[in-house]
Amino acid sequence: MGALQLARGPLTEDELDAWYALPEDHPADTAWVRGSFIATLDGRATGPDGRSGGLNEGSEGDHAAFEAGRRWAEAVVVGAGTARAEGYPPLEGCLLVVVTRSGDVPASLHDHPDVLVVGGDGEDVGPERVLAAIRDRGLHRVVVEGGPALFGPWVAAGAVDELCVTVRPVLAGGEAPSLVPADVQLPQLVGEATHLIEWDGDLLLRTRLR
């Protein structure tokens, strides 16, 4: 294992872009899949309103890291339910990939040149199918933003290279979903923490999963 890199926020955009850069040992022309989430101390991935946005209010560090992840990404993957709940618009500078089994996608995302809809035929849409569609576009830097129902099967399939998560110092309790839903069976998985920023009490952790 390499040494854990530590920093204290705030960091500038340039510092964050360097912090979240592609690992030096990974070829730039092959896919790198990064999960990007916010969570409470007890692992909940949404606030009381059922949205991840309910957790990051007032978190300057999470907003900054989130934007750094978007600048890094060539493709951002979300489930259609998350796109509806969080009000996703088409993104600037990267492809928005919406995963749907039913084909129920927000009208604002239909027929947009920077939006790719994968699925809609009633069949399960696994990571292999999504990554193949992204690869066909010649894209390699992939960020999966959720929600947990989408992310869990990606982890179980071994399709996620690293997880970037902001841990907020709060306890949520209740029935909000965790990063990986309880019904998703995972192999024993031990990640390697590579980067950690403390930013106004929040912990911004970057962990390599494979």
State the pLDDT at residue 114.
Answer: 97
Q: Is residue 158 part of a domain?
A: yes
pLDDT at 94: 97
Measuring CA to CA, how many Å separate 109 from each of 88, 93, 98, 171, 191? 8, 16, 9, 34, 35
Tell me if 5 is assigned to some domain.
no
In a domain, 24, yes or no: no
Q: Is residue 2 part of a domain?
A: no
Domain holding 165, by residue range, is 11-17+29-208
Q: What is the CATH number of the domain that holds 103?
A: 3.40.430.10
Least Cα distance to 59 among 33, 34, 87, 39 occurs for 39
Residue 61 lies in a domain: yes
Specify the number of domains making up the chain: 1
Is position 167 within any domain?
yes
Taking alpha carbons only, the member of 190, 193, 178 closest to residue 43 is 178
Query: For each of the chain's 210 residues, which pLDDT tens digit applies?
Result: 678 999 999 999 999 999 999 999 999 999 999 999 999 999 999 887 778 888 988 899 999 999 999 999 999 999 999 999 999 999 999 999 999 999 999 999 989 999 999 999 998 899 999 999 999 999 999 999 999 999 999 999 999 999 999 999 999 888 888 999 888 888 777 899 999 999 999 999 999 998
Give a yes or no: residue 121 inside a domain. yes
- Residue among 23, 16, 1, 17 at smallest CA distance from 140: 23
Whether 126 is in a domain gets the answer yes
pTM above the 0.85 mark? yes
